[in-house]
Structure 1
Amino acid sequence: MVCSLSSFLLRASGAIAALSYLLSTLPVSAFPDTQNYWASDCIERLSSGRGWVGYPDGTFRPDASITRAEFATMMINAFRTHSFSEREAITFKDVPSSHWAYQTIKRSYELQFFSGYPDRTFRPNQPITRTEAFVVLQSASDFTAPEDTEAFLNQVFDDVDAIPNYAKEAIANAAIGRLILNYPQVRQLRPTEPATRGEMAASFCQVLAISRTLPQAYIAVGEDPFDLPPELGGISEFSEGLAVFRGPNFKMGYMNPQGEIVIPAQYDYASIFEDGIARVRTGSLWQAITPEGQVILEQNGYIGEFSEGLVRLGRSYPYTAIYDREGEFLFEIDHFIEAFSDGLALVKLQERGGYGFVDRTGAYVIDPQPDEVSSFSEGRAWILQETEPGKPRYGFIDKTGKIVIEPVYEEVKAFSEGLAAVKVGGLWGYIDRSGTMVIEPQFQQAQPFSEGLAGVQGDSTWGYINSQGTWMIEGGFHVPEFAQVHPIEPFENGLAIARIGDRAGVKDRQANWVLPVEFVDIAGVSDGLAFVNVGGRWTTEVTGTNIPPDYPRRSVMTGGRWGYSSLRYK
């Protein structure tokens, strides 16, 4: 969700003496002339971990301007691991092959960062203006500004009239991406002034997602849609009062809804908390931890998700060991086992095929049999049988393995709140635990019930029905064609994510928008905060290699910034 780059180096190949700044051969952790600079934390992080360098005298010179050649070198080194559409290189009249930045200038043209001037010059020694720098920087990022560019810019800057017309859309993209920092007056873009090393260091900290290094007061965003901004490093929704964040060291830790660090950024991977447990990894060492950071289980190898207080640990193939949340070993089984659900775990016999169920002691409750089955939910698990040649159908079994609902359905979903969605004749309806059809098949799509409501698709758009099949919330919900998300999500704690076109919001059970439908996407809602995306875009991409019109496509959301917006935001 955030942009992460493997390296960021400010250096030049060739005649290094020709540069206006020189590579320091000494390791640098701080500079004497940045101690009181407003972006000092960012510069220190870049110098110690991302390759930014100072001068031979040990200074950084944050107020020194940057030439076009220097900025081209910064861009190539910053985005060396990314893929961009390319074009054929040209030769600039004022950049001979002997020039120290010849290769990076050539490459910056190929990647379409720079285009040069109409007279086929690049002007490598000319200081780059702030406008030019932001235009180039945003060209390598993925942000989309509002349609009314002029109105948006006027919300953010007081000197919009000084922005060249050709650059206004790009400047808006850079602002929505939070790449522009204005010190000391946040509303003054100063578009024609030369860009300085300190200012651009701050912008590169933003584009590289180096969190918690910059003062929020100077980020030019106008009215900020985030209550906890992207600069805190959040990369997950809140769960059980904590969210995963990525620190300036690019390690992961946990923060609370106030943005305060609860568990320091020290892991290579961290999951959200579920049932009071999260899974983290450092190198090859996996651990299960509590919200206080206490380790309850660890092994050199993958630890799966906990379910009903139990977790599966991989042994030598095909063995699976089961532990409880206190880290106590319970049993081992010589087959692959799914997570526990409804008190039982589904066992898959890999070599000879078949499915069975074991209880929490590892004893078989339902012996392995050949028909494919699902995990249990509310005392029922679906079973797939071929009742007619070439026509597999779904039914349900109980916890003794007995078929209690005959396999007559084209598709089914798990029982939830006493009902299961089933497909008959191409349409979805709902049955109860006895198999009685309580809501006749009539929907194009159907979701499980949650908090008394289920999301369904009528003729074209989505809404919510109650357990009697009555429409309770109708709102024309839909998503872009081929999108890999649902127009509406199940209710949880009285709230549900809903989407209209390429925008998302949050509704309550009374059909009120408690978060406006103005975000590009929303990934979760908890603790009064929604994990939202601003400035991203929906794009359609090819997912296969077949020749049109048969090639598969999907719409995905890319780019933008992820942060947290309070449900009080209107």
Structure 2
Amino acid sequence: MTISTDSSFADTQTHWAKDSIHQLFSRQIISGYPDGSFRPNNSVTRAEFAAILNKAFPQVTPVRDAINFRDVPANHWANSAIQTVTRAAFFSGYPNGTFRPNQPIPRVQALVALVSGLKYDRDPNPNSILQQYYDDAAAIPNYARGAIATATRQFLVVNYPDVRRLHPNRNATRGEVAALISRALKLPGVPQQYVPGWDIIAIEPLFDDADSFSQERARVKLGEKWGYIDKTGTFIVDPQLNEAEPFSEGIALVRLQQNGVDLSWVRSRHFSARSAKALTTNAQKLSSLEIRGVWLTTTDSQVFNTSKNIAEAMDFLANTGFNVVFPVVWNNGATLYPSRLMQDIMGLEIDPRFTGRDPLAELIQAAKNVGLAVIPWFEYGFASSYNQKGGRLLAQKPDWAARDSQGNLLTKNNFEWLNAFDPQVQDFVMGLILEVIRNYDIAGIQGDDRLPALPSEGGYDTQTVQRYVQQFNQEPPNNPKDSQWLQWRADLLTDFLTRLYRQVVAINPELIISIAPSPYPWGFQEYLQDNQAWADQGLVDMIHPQFYRRDFASYKQLVDRLVHDQLNPVQLSTVIPGILIKSGSYRISSQDLVQVIEYNRDRGLAGEVLFFYEGLRQDNDTLANALRSHVYAQSVPFNTAQVKAQGFTHRRVGAEYRYIDRFGNLVTQPEFDWLDSFQEERARVRMGYKWGYIDKTGHLITRLDFDQADQFAEGLARVKIGSRYGYIDLSGQWVISPQFDQATRFSEGLAAVKVEDQWGYIDKIGKWVIPTQFDQAELFSEGLAAVQLAGKYGYCDSNGQLVIPANFDAAGSFAQGLAPVQLRDRWGYINPTGELVIEPQFDAAQPFSQELAAVKIGSFWGYINKKGDRVISPEFDQVRSFSDGLAPIQMGKRWGYIRNLFDKL
């Protein structure tokens, strides 16, 4: 073809093949004429077609020697191209040894050449498909019928203007050839209404991603957003969702970004290997950061008395190597800052000692001047007073009092307590915290052994008792240490901490939530502080257990228990122990303080907080000097971003999960970090590091106790605690205790489980049905399960008999009577007797669904029937299985859906 350098040919602007012409021109496969025309209706000679093939398929492998055609001299302009495409088997020439280079090529010859050169297997039974698609099928020469049927299956044929008229013996035009080559190269641009067989396309490829249909809905992606379509391709839920899962049991899980902010680095609801790796990486980053903190009190201290004292203390701490301070802002029923909330409730704006001042604001400014972070400490938490019969707060709000089992004001160690379970009390304490974070430039907030906390002797007020009776249909036990009663009340405090976390980060996601509880499990038994659950659920960014011991051996014992028995390595990076340096006449020695800090670093703990400031100043700053000259000799800045990177704020800010019905209406909106679709009326959920299960109302049916959890199947769910797997039922009760090294879900009444290095199968009560004997074991399907022995796969029945010998390199599950198996590098299919009914010939293969199976040949996917016929040719870049009569397919960068028209062929 002659040369033109402009793809905007004057005579193709309204031509049906203009897009194909442009595609090939831009790839320098075809060209136009010097006058700027393309002449799309001109015929193409055999020599011209050979030249086009040579440019379009330069990588096709030669399969035979060259043929010296007697009518193609060596100096013929197309001789080289003719020789190349002939060696590649596009052409063979005529029996008399001629090529006839100047003869216009008929459409049938062009199609046969493409099928031959591209090495497509010719359809051995072409008549059915030819009759199905062509009204002029009788005009197709006998030698070409198999090739034309194959070309049809490959979507190579283009019939304009009537898709049912092949016109096999008509000369091919330049426009038609451009369209045929575009189809062979799988380029966009050919009007699909002219491609025979394209009626399998049910929904045009328009989407950036797509999933199989479920309950007549499919999730699809446009750009970065997901939505749902029906089987006509109409959006039922517009593409506005950040995450979306398939419909299951009438509802779908979605996640919607709010306010243009989404800090999540995992798309899926699953806690994947990627997210686990990210957490580990963040933990490693955090380990390079040291938290060097100190508590500032009003008891036995002069720091807050004047702004000068505050400034001097900040200078001293910065020079000593500290990077964060925890000043008390709430104790003895009063605040150390002007509080509108306290003014409204009690008529007392601030602790009377500081009337006319704002010690918190003074301290924040002084700390900022020397580079110290400030995290206000709400020391009294849910305590009302110390040895004052409830003090000024309960004098104003007597209904807020906590009660013991005798109905008395709850008192422990001379502290009187507010009812931490009362919604009004919770809102009050929450209000104090939110007031501070809204009004002051701080790094975070801190609770302690009284926030959230309540002595375990409490909870016997009328309101709390009624809640317990409503849930358990019985009165709370008189024994305050009853295990169920302890855990139930501790969970109420955990719920408060969860709400506090969410409200704080909703206002400012960069704020650190810091807690300094009593050591676990003592704090749990005595003050209902389940800080094991707080760490497991990611409810704190820094946790400072009060390891207040007066000798190194006792301190070491607490740290070792924490490291070995309570928290995993990722969680440990959030632990910054509290160290007692002064109490009354006691002061830690310099040697012990340095040894404790060195032991923290040795055990992977990223810092410590010292109680309290005045201990550093005694004996001419002895302890401070020891820190300056040793473990704090080099300054380390406080990095809020590094601390927050370890936590879960990214899952709790800017986006929310919800379940919707098939029309996009809200069903329920549980608040967890990760959720999943419902199976058997249950969905797994994750908070922090732990999994549990909810029902369709969004209520937990289990505690968040599991390190791993699967969806329910056949009434049971596989869960993991520590390193062992077991099974729970739909009520959350253990049916099979954790005892296996690995396990699968149940299928056909059996589950594969692993003990040490071998797999076997158990039934639903945990009884061994097939003893451990396999190297690998898969789920049962249609009475058989793929198992591995000595590196090869076979199939066993439910009695453990190896009914199909282990001869395969890989094996899939049976579906609709056949299973995909791999021999060497090719996949085929076997029947339940082990007979190869479809010979291994595919690069990849999926199980059958709705009578068709997706198979990969080379780089493309298509579908076969149970005879092995390629009923939908390998045309697609990716595919998924048929469901509801449709299957998602990817062509280029776009996804659409094809319909199943071939299940009976």
TM-score using structure 1 length: 0.55
C-alpha contact (below 8 Å) 1:443/1:457 kept by paired residues: no
Within 1, Cα distance between the matches of 2:73 and 2:263? 58
2:507 paired with 1:529? no
C-alpha contact (below 8 Å) 2:850/2:883 kept by paired residues: no
| Cross-structure match for 1:69 | 47
| Cross-structure match for 1:215 | 191
2:131 paired with 1:154? yes
| Cross-structure match for 1:47 | 25
Shift in alpha-carbon separation, 1:126–1:255, aligned structure 2, 3 A: farther
Shift in alpha-carbon separation, 1:310–1:160, aligned structure 2, 3 A: closer
| Cross-structure match for 1:265 | none
1:512-540 deviation line (CA, Å, top 9, x unaligned): xxx9868858723467622379xxxxxxx
Alignment partner of 2:68 out of 84, 87, 91: 91
How do 1:74-473 residues align onto structure 2 when only pairs under 5 Å count?
A: 74-80=52-58, 82-84=59-61, 86-141=63-118, 143=120, 147-211=124-188, 213-221=189-197, 224-228=199-203, 237-238=211-212, 241-243=218-220, 258=232, 306-308=268-270, 312=274, 319=281, 358=570, 361=647, 377=710, 378-380=718-720, 396=725, 404-405=738-739, 413-415=743-745, 420-422=751-753, 430-431=761-762, 435-437=766-768, 447-448=778-779, 456-457=784-785
Within 1, Cα distance between the matches of 2:883 and 2:221? 13
C-alpha contact (below 8 Å) 2:709/2:719 kept by paired residues: yes
Within 2, Cα distance between the matches of 1:486 and 1:343? 46
Within 1, Cα distance between the matches of 2:27 and 2:903? 37
2:38 paired with 1:60? yes
Query: 3-state DSSP class of the match of 1:161?
Result: helix
| Counterpart residue type for residue 149 of structure 1 | P
C-alpha contact (below 8 Å) 2:219/2:244 kept by paired residues: no
| Counterpart residue type for residue 42 of structure 1 | S
Moved more, 412-421 or 33-42: 412-421
Percent identity for Structure 1 against Structure 2: 32
Shift in alpha-carbon separation, 1:46–1:568, aligned structure 2, 3 A: closer
Q: Tell me by how many angstroms 1:192 deviates.
A: 1.5
C-alpha contact (below 8 Å) 2:283/2:570 kept by paired residues: no
Shift in alpha-carbon separation, 1:428–1:225, aligned structure 2, 3 A: farther
C-alpha contact (below 8 Å) 2:759/2:776 kept by paired residues: yes
Within 1, Cα distance between the matches of 2:40 and 2:866? 41
Alignment partner of 2:819 out of 472, 478, 483: 478
C-alpha contact (below 8 Å) 2:123/2:147 kept by paired residues: no
| Cross-structure match for 1:285 | none
| Cross-structure match for 2:2 | 22
1:46-97 deviation line (CA, Å, top 9, x unaligned): 33456532111111111111111111111121112x4435222232222233
Within 1, Cα distance between the matches of 2:837 and 2:207? 28
CA RMSD in angstroms, aligned pairs only: 5.8
Please state which structure has a larger fraction of its residues in strand. 1
Query: 3-state DSSP class of the match of 2:31?
Result: coil
2:16 paired with 1:38? yes
How do 1:508-523 residues align onto structure 2 when only pairs under 5 Å count?
A: 520=870, 523=880
Within 2, Cα distance between the matches of 1:485 and 1:298? 45
| Cross-structure match for 1:542 | none
C-alpha contact (below 8 Å) 1:67/1:125 kept by paired residues: yes
Structure 2 residues without counterparts, runs of 5 or longer: 237-241, 247-254, 285-505, 513-535, 539-567, 572-645, 649-687, 691-706, 711-717, 728-736, 788-792, 799-813, 840-846, 852-863, 873-878
1:264-290 deviation line (CA, Å, top 9, x unaligned): xxxxxxxx97659xxxxxxxxxxxxx9
Within 2, Cα distance between the matches of 1:68 and 1:404? 73
Q: Tell me by how many angstroms 1:109 deviates.
A: 1.3
| Counterpart residue type for residue 214 of structure 1 | V
Please state which structure has a larger fraction of its residues in helix. 2
| Counterpart residue type for residue 270 of structure 2 | E
Shift in alpha-carbon separation, 1:243–1:44, aligned structure 2, 3 A: farther
Within 1, Cα distance between the matches of 2:171 and 2:819? 46
Within 2, Cα distance between the matches of 1:444 and 1:457? 13
| Counterpart residue type for residue 218 of structure 1 | Y
TM-score using structure 2 length: 0.37
Q: Tell me by how many angstroms 1:458 deviates.
A: 8.9
Number of residue pairs matched? 413
Within 2, Cα distance between the matches of 1:153 and 1:260? 33
